[in-house]
Amino acid sequence: MRFDQLEQFLALGNLRHFRQAAEQTNISTSALTRSIQTLEDEIGCELVKRSTRSVKLTEQGELFLAYCKTTLNELEHTKKHIHQSLYGRDQQKLVIGYTNQASKIVPLSCGQFLADYPNVKIEMQLQDEQELSRKLQLGEIDISVYLQKACQIESDVHLPDQLIMFVAKHHPLAAKDIIRREELLHYSMFGCFSQSKQVQTMLNEVVDNLNKATSIKIGNIEQVIQGLKSSSSFAIASIEHAKTVAQDADLVMLKTNKAMEQEQLVVQTNRNLGASNYITHLLSLIEKTAQNSQLVN
């Protein structure tokens, strides 16, 4: 019984599909079939029930699948210990897998990390979520990073996509997860000029809907920002000013749109990775970079 046979059976147990499992383990479907038959002959019982539509594991197959997972994880763990005993801590290596959506997070985090821990080697692998899960399970990567859809925000204040709402960092609304219409009644409003007639029309409609037509103050983006920082007002401007607002540490954009989709960072570690100062530091950098990336975007 070889380790590659265990990997092949693990792939089949996870995917429940011969062709997909064969592709994942880089062998032909017929070779995978022979490998499974050889395992069944060696163990002395049927592991897989085959049909034209599906692949099911027998009770013995499920037990053997658990054995494959444990054995392969232990193998990877032992290999790491042997490597560390031979080469010492200076040769410590981390393998980080990440999806394309996390490509703005992982490389930047790793660059910052290496400045603090130059003796730790990092290998980065760009994979899809399914491959990340497989490799993490097999111990082939130490950390996986990807983004997934988070819960939606519901609010009764709705702005067109072309408009943003923002306040000074010290404003009471800055701490709110979502903004309600009645909360805006307590504060005066700034509106920012737009060169686009369409956007200006949208802004005028929002002003009317919020009953601010008689109290709104209008100016360019610089005047509006200055007004916010010296008052308790809120402001609405064109999306073209989003980057200017996001880069100002004294301003906060408010979440107002109905059903606004968000992405949530998911970081998973190999259970054999252990907890050390440099691992904790790297995970902290990944989370911090993700937060900064969401603010900029």
List the domains of the chain with CATH numbers.
Answer: 3-70 (1.10.10.10), 88-150+262-296 (3.40.190.10), 163-253 (3.40.190.10)
Read off the pLDDT of residues 123-136 as tens digits, 9 standing for 90 and up: 999 999 889 988 88
Read off the pLDDT of residues 244-296 as tens digits, 9 standing for 90 and up: 998 899 999 987 765 545 678 889 988 777 667 788 889 999 999 888 776 44
Is the pLDDT score of 167 beyond 90?
A: yes
Backbone angles phi, psi at 34, to 5 degrees: -65, -40
Read off the pLDDT of residues 104-121 as tens digits, 9 standing for 90 and up: 899 999 999 998 888 888
Q: What is the 8-class DSSP label of residue 196?
A: -
pTM of the complete model: 0.38
User: What is the distance between the alpha carbons of residues 149 and 263, in angstroms, rounded to a whole number?
Assistant: 5
Read off the pLDDT of residues 2-61 as tens digits, 9 standing for 90 and up: 899 999 999 999 988 888 899 999 999 999 999 999 999 999 999 999 876 678 999 999
Contacts 24+ apart (CB under 8 A), 218-227: 218/190, 218/191, 218/192, 218/193, 219/190, 219/191, 219/192, 219/193, 220/192, 220/193, 221/192, 224/190, 224/191, 224/192, 225/251, 227/190
Count CA atoms within 13 Å of residue 109 on its CB side. Answer: 29
Cβ-Cβ contacts under 8 Å for 144 (sequence gap 6 or more): 96, 97, 98, 132, 133, 135, 136, 266, 267, 268, 269
